[in-house]
Chain A
Amino acid sequence: MSQNLQIQLTGSLTMKDDFKLSDEKLIALFQSGDINAYNELVERYKERLFNFVLRYFNNKEQAEDVVQDTLIKLYTHASYYKNVAKFSTWIFTIAKNNALTELRKNKRKRTESLWTEDGNPLDINSKEQSLDQKTHNEFAINQLNKFLDEIPENFRMAVVLRDFQELSYDEISKILEIPIGTIKSRINRGRIQLAEKMKHFKEQK
């Protein structure tokens, strides 16, 4: 595929999955000045990063700010990316570092929760919904999110990257800068703790 054709393709965000350019191709295009490639990367990653960063803060506005800073760094420091690592590893690492810097700066670590005592998401729409309107599955997922906040942070971040973001152990190891064996162990421990909490919750109900 010629360079010109690739640039044309990135201009269209409605292309089929089969023809989707890889993240690494997009960052290369952006490095050579294609702003459409940057916009596509933003669309692909804004929510993934948001859902990841949210686990550090549990505060939507703060998490959005950190994601915006991350995406601005992508804009201003794109030339720093070298095609030796996966783009996702690079961008998640920036997001993690930004989140940790913000946490140190504000010292407002996990002061609010996105989940109510019942495990429902703390937003207007969900407050207006009654339990009857929710499916059992939705309720269980909300409860799981609440339990996720309760397990140790080093377990939580590893589990989030593996089970929500579906990254490989190798990528998680690079992002969190921890040996792969430790990552595997933390993910396993985190899952066990979550499963125990869920089991206990179901038994109470």
Chain B
Amino acid sequence: MNYNKFEDQISDWIENSMDIKQRKEFEKFLSENPEYLSKVESIKDVMNMMKDAPSLKTSEDFTKRLNEKIASLKSEKKPMGILGFSKRNFAFLTLSVLGILLLSGYLLQPSFSSYSIVDEETIDNNIDKEEIDKESNEINDIDILNDVNGSFVTDKD
């Protein structure tokens, strides 16, 4: 063991945190170099002094001031507005709900999906057109049946 290693291990030796082999090596070095014993002793003294040193006290009103700070923190807490929401959030939420309700009401009304606003004449024209289309479709069906069966099919059939 050299001096540097000895110095590195002083605290370990004082605190008894060495394994047996290290301890024996350390103590052998000390017995061979008794001049270093005083160094170990002085470190021990310093450690004991720090351990026994009285701690500095906080001010007498320390706890009182702490409690005052905590109390003011509590009073600073803003009360929650309406139904547990802040006023700003509540207004936003209300507007959102109203918006959704209006939009859904508009989308779900029956006239929206089938018709737009039209006058009665247009509706009548549309009905006539539908009837004409229906009749022409029926005639087409009869022609197709004639082609398939090779015989004449009347309305009576």
Contact = CB atoms under 8 A, between A and B. Distances in A.
Interface of A: 42-43, 46-48, 50-51, 54, 60, 64, 67-68, 71-72, 75-76, 114, 121, 137, 140-141, 144-145, 159, 163-164, 166, 184-185, 187-188, 191-192, 194-196, 198-199
Which secondary structure dominates where chain B touches chain A? helix
Given A72-B66, A187-B11, A163 B47 contact: yes
Contacts of A163: 47, 50-51
Contact of A48 (B42, B55, B70): B55
Interface residues of B, number: 29
Interface string B81-103: 00000000000000000000000
B39 A67 contact: no
Contacts of A60: 56, 59
B46 A72 contact: no
Given A42-B63, A46-B63, A72-B66, A191 B47 contact: yes
B65 interface: yes
21 contacts: A46-B62, A47-B55, A50-B55, A60-B59, A64-B59, A67-B58, A68-B62, A72-B66, A114-B56, A141-B52, A141-B54, A163-B47, A163-B50, A164-B51, A164-B53, A166-B51, A184-B11, A188-B8, A195-B39, A198-B42, A198-B46
B73 interface: yes
Given A47-B57, A72-B66, 20 more contacts: A46-B62, A46-B63, A47-B56, A47-B58, A51-B55, A60-B59, A64-B58, A67-B58, A72-B73, A76-B73, A114-B56, A141-B49, A141-B54, A184-B11, A185-B8, A188-B8, A195-B39, A195-B43, A195-B46, A199-B42
Given A54-B56, A68-B66, A198-B42, A192 B50 contact: no
B45 interface: yes
Contacts of B8: 185, 188
A91 B157 CA distance: 99
Contacts of A42: 63, 66
A50 B8 CA distance: 31
A70 to B, nearest CB: 10
Nearest to A165: B55
Given A47-B55, A47-B57, A194 B70 contact: no
A164 B59 CA distance: 20
